[in-house]
A = this chain, B = another copy of it.
Amino acid sequence: MGDSTSTKTPVYLRIEAALGERIARGAYRPGEQLPPEPQLCKEFGVSPMTLRRALARLSDRGLLSAEQGRGTFVRALELGEASFKLRQFTDRWQDDSVDVRLLAASTVRADERVAETLGIPVGERAVFLRRLLLKDEKPMMYHTEYVVFDARRPLVESQLQITSLEGLLQGAGGEGFPEGELTVRVVNLAAAEAALLDQPEGAAAFRLEHAFHDFTGRPVSWGWFLCRADSFLLRTHLGTRRAERGGME
């Protein structure tokens, strides 16, 4: 008597919720062993596969750890298990008040760093792009990007037409490319960057670097976003509570 989780919810989700609730309330304590699967099957009146589906999800969430031959145990909360989704980082800019202003678009000769990152010879041509992203007229992100020049692929044109953040996030080398790496660092803004972002020189900022590759593994694009410290953060919840749904709060 308790959970009247609208009867249409799949059984495995209800079991997941029920067990998560017990952990949250302390009925099952960290380190404790859960009842064996056959017993839980009887308790919930389901087949092994269904029960295991619920347990697997709880394990994925880091709440349980199953050890073959020993049992299933409640895991103590570990900071290291936390994971941050980039989506929340940019969610608030996903509306019409966001403006993408193209500051520069040209081809340049690759210097040493660009050449190495893009896997091309020094001096080779590369597309160079700079954008400023504004929300309600206020600058929020400053984007720099280098794209391998390829006459057969009209990347330049499609890139130039990007005027929304969604387009930029998907189009930043991502259009159809299957591999990418992202790195988040923290930096002090240089004078020019700070000025564009309407921040004092040396202000702290996130630096979100991205690199994309094509189907053969060759680099295609490399760049980074500088994000104002006062407008961006990463947040996550650790533990039993259900993950945040939308992202609005």
Contact = CB atoms under 8 A, between A and B. Distances in A.
Contacts of A185: 229, 233
Contacts of A91: 80
A203 interface: yes
Copy tally for this chain in the complex stands at 2
Give the dominant DSSP class at A's interface.
mixed
A238 B181 contact: yes
Interface string A24-68: 111001100000000000000000010000000000100000000
Nearest to A175: B76
Contact of A180 (B202, B203, B204, B237): B237
A235 B76 CA distance: 25
B82 A233 contact: no
Interface centre among A84, A174, A239 (most CB of B within 10 A): A84
For chain A, the bracket of interface size reads 35 or more
A234 B138 CA distance: 27
Contact of A229 (B180, B181, B186): B186
A192 B203 CA distance: 17
Contacts of A183: 233-235
Interface string A68-90: 00000000111111111111011
Interface of A: 23-26, 29-30, 49, 60, 76-87, 89-91, 169-170, 172, 174-188, 202-206, 210, 212, 215, 229, 232-241
25 contacts: A25-B215, A76-B175, A76-B176, A77-B174, A77-B179, A79-B172, A79-B174, A79-B210, A80-B86, A80-B87, A81-B87, A82-B86, A84-B84, A84-B86, A84-B234, A179-B238, A179-B239, A180-B239, A181-B236, A182-B237, A183-B235, A184-B233, A184-B235, A186-B205, A186-B229
